[in-house]
Structure 1
């Protein structure tokens, strides 16, 4: 008798689905496609020489190579965690080493948080729209989602309070240049939502993947910094997820969680069970690189990505037909388009690839209930200004025909 694998799979497998974005990344190998799909950094800006130099230093001695190629502690490479503590100190958080865990990218952090906090049927509050990868990380643990609409300042407070009154396990939010819609939560809204979450005893999961990529305006304090200011400088009600994927390189898969030690201690146990620790050599190399060039490299990224954001916004202003609106993000990697109600983003993508050789991500992928069918997300970070202009022109010409 052969195994009926569908019967053997755990029930939570039904909550797993393929990422529309991962599938669309395959189009990057087709040079005729102008892709606004993947929210990825431009490889032309990777700090390759600094990374190569760091590897040379590691392998100058047998002792250095031996340490880099060996197991390490589950919490993460201590010098890297010390750097993270210093970095977070600049954002108002007095974190100790026992409050930081290095993860295999911030995506693993989201998975661990889901495993730690969500049981079958538990409520989780997200925004509408929200980051697709978070939905993928949380859904296998079988939550029920409450989606809170957003305005130009962030989550709508009345809807958020109603959701928090339902006693969810946590509220997940990308406060800076949100993936997918580019919205930045205002300072007043940050303070207000922290007030509400504290009132209802609901923790906040802060995803800070894009925080450093600000092109306009003054930086805002992270939620964890505002939370720490209320509690003697220590992280208390906010779990902060950081990442080096957007500021350095994604392939090293190094991110981190900063939270109260009570939370981190349990996440460490999950790390031990999952993969023991993040890659030792990747942590060592990344620590060397960020210690040398973090600020200067991020400054370079801001300059290049700002030019690309401006190119996309200018092209939309020139070519977009009536009935199409879009966000004007202060940073990050994304512009969010709302189309006339009768236009379905998924159907538009099919035609865009076939008729215009352009790709983007349909917006419904970013809604827990798969609504938002007349929206699309376009990323500008990995495309030159000239191709951005041409790609936007093609999409808008197609929209006029639709």
Structure 2
């Protein structure tokens, strides 16, 4: 019998199951109040608009095109629509700077493949998006903390990377309402990041999956917009902007996009041709139909609903969390990050919370590239109504209080 472990590539040892994907199974249990899944509420999907879009595509002159192979770069009308949307964000570009991927997760995988050789260093925040770590892990990098609040010099980053056996290749972060913390990087931090990237001569990967979901406060220009304002042209920009329709329209269609300088796009197209030829043509066409008709109205609708749920969770946390527990106050997105008293363990707490209180969340350690953060956890408010949020946070407060007494 073949010993599969002996023939797997070395990168296979770095592929780990997602704690979040496993916890999503809890959503199917009606007795569990789950704050684990960072997913959009399916009740808010524009189902009628998509039904009409698919019907129009399949009954019109473009039916054959929708079911046929297509160009690797992506459906041109969708890319043209994105060019217009990006202009509103002060990101002037052309269709040649826009590349469609099968969800932004595929985009992160491609970017890891493009930039990382074994032992190279990726700069990531602490904590950072678990899906990004999973995408990058396959290319055998090391990680270093991207800490824009300290005084660490570019030479210090270089020295750490050299000690690991490679060089710094990119900085990755979500600047708006980050997964998992919900925090937003202010303008000064974005400028500091661009300065650091210039000194290290590396690209910045800006994950903008939640950029549309702002509920309060003044919008901050994307990192790419600030970069283009500095350098004068997107093809001179070192920022790579990753976006998605998953949080605004529907995740099941798996349509995301990357915006970057033309030389980057050309390399990504070659990867796409080798991997899956192109993203689903008919899904791109449906997205183009729906986005072109109702995008702004859809975003306004989901913002109103998620804002109410965020407020309900912040209110419940203030009422039910025991002394010593801290949490973030996001201006948008889907997540709140909770820090427990030192010595408490989020994974152990989850087991007790499910058993005794029937409430679920994501332990925070999975979001730390260095294995830290054991006393943290992520809760999502996107899929629960205010009454359920109040009950679930009350239950969570009880189990945390009991855990503190037992410590």
Q: Deviations over 1:189-222 (max 9, x none)?
A: 1112111211221210000000000001011110
Say if 1:120 and 1:144 are closer, same or farther in 2 by CA, change over 3 A.
Answer: same
Q: Does 2:265 correspond to 1:264?
A: yes
> What residue number does 2:330 align with?
329
> What residue number does 2:200 align with?
200
Greater CA deviation, 276-285 or 48-57? Answer: 48-57
Q: Distance in 2 between matches of 1:217 and 1:137?
A: 32
**Aligned structure 1 segments of 4 or more residues deviating by more than 6 angstroms:** none
Q: Deviations over 1:63-94 (max 9, x none)?
A: 32211111110000000011111111111122
Aligned-partner SS, 1:336: strand
Structure 1 unaligned blocks of 5 or more = 150-154
Note if contact 2:168-2:200 (Cα within 8 Å) is conserved in structure 1.
Answer: no
Q: Distance in 2 between matches of 1:42 and 1:179?
A: 17
Deviation at 1:164, TM superposition (A): 5.6
Note if contact 1:336-1:377 (Cα within 8 Å) is conserved in structure 2.
Answer: yes
> What residue number does 1:54 align with?
53
Counterparts of residues 100-139 of structure 1 (less than 5 Å): 100-139=98-137
> What residue number does 2:169 align with?
169
Q: Distance in 2 between matches of 1:221 and 1:174?
A: 13
Q: Normalised by the size of structure 1, how large is the TM-score?
A: 0.96
Q: Distance in 2 between matches of 1:255 and 1:90?
A: 18
Deviation at 1:159, TM superposition (A): 3.6
Counterparts of residues 238-257 of structure 1 (less than 5 Å): 238-257=239-258
| Alpha-carbon RMSD | 1.1
Q: Does 2:333 correspond to 1:352?
A: no
Q: Distance in 1 between matches of 2:150 and 2:210?
A: 23
Deviation at 1:163, TM superposition (A): 2.6
Aligned-partner SS, 2:248: coil
Aligned-partner SS, 1:310: helix
Q: Distance in 1 between matches of 2:150 and 2:288?
A: 39
> What residue number does 1:183 align with?
183
How many residues matched? 395
Aligned-partner SS, 1:315: helix
Q: Distance in 2 between matches of 1:4 and 1:56?
A: 50
Say if 1:181 and 1:159 are closer, same or farther in 2 by CA, change over 3 A.
Answer: farther
Aligned-partner SS, 1:377: strand
> What residue number does 2:81 align with?
83
> What residue number does 1:152 align with?
none
Q: Does 2:92 correspond to 1:94?
A: yes
Q: Distance in 2 between matches of 1:109 and 1:163?
A: 25
> What residue number does 1:10 align with?
9
Q: Distance in 1 between matches of 2:140 and 2:365?
A: 20
Say if 1:204 and 1:273 are closer, same or farther in 2 by CA, change over 3 A.
Answer: same
Aligned-partner SS, 1:376: strand
Note if contact 2:146-2:171 (Cα within 8 Å) is conserved in structure 1.
Answer: no
Q: Distance in 2 between matches of 1:382 and 1:287?
A: 26
Say if 1:318 and 1:103 are closer, same or farther in 2 by CA, change over 3 A.
Answer: same
Q: Distance in 2 between matches of 1:140 and 1:201?
A: 24
Q: Distance in 1 between matches of 2:387 and 2:153?
A: 41
Note if contact 2:327-2:336 (Cα within 8 Å) is conserved in structure 1.
Answer: yes
> What residue number does 2:149 align with?
156
Q: Distance in 2 between matches of 1:164 and 1:187?
A: 25
